[in-house]
Structure 1
């Protein structure tokens, strides 16, 4: 994983600090029922390698990984 400042430095085993935890990216498929903290209930209508599109009834929203506010039902 890279940061805006470049790749993350390697964790040394002699370090007194714990290694940074990599975020777990959920996998969504077309038809999955989901909930979003801001938009509410919805259904995944399109999935590509860079984002998922979710239909929330009143509008469709394209959400990019790591999907911090999007959860499976």
Structure 2
């Protein structure tokens, strides 16, 4: 789904990154399958937020973010 990113969150813990999506009005965890994958998806969402662009976000059955692109 195409959506605006309201907020971004990450902590010092490995693979712990979240995004608040405007389309669902909820926080969604970036699925922690691989460290690089979590970082890459987080960077795409951060770029969308920083540039006031929408991102296409794919959610799995548990509402975790599995993919994102601009």
- Shorter-chain TM range is 0.3 to 0.5
TM-score (norm 2): 0.33
TM-score (norm 1): 0.32
Quick one: higher RCO (CA 8 Å, sep 6+), 1 or 2? 2
- Larger strand proportion of the pair: 2
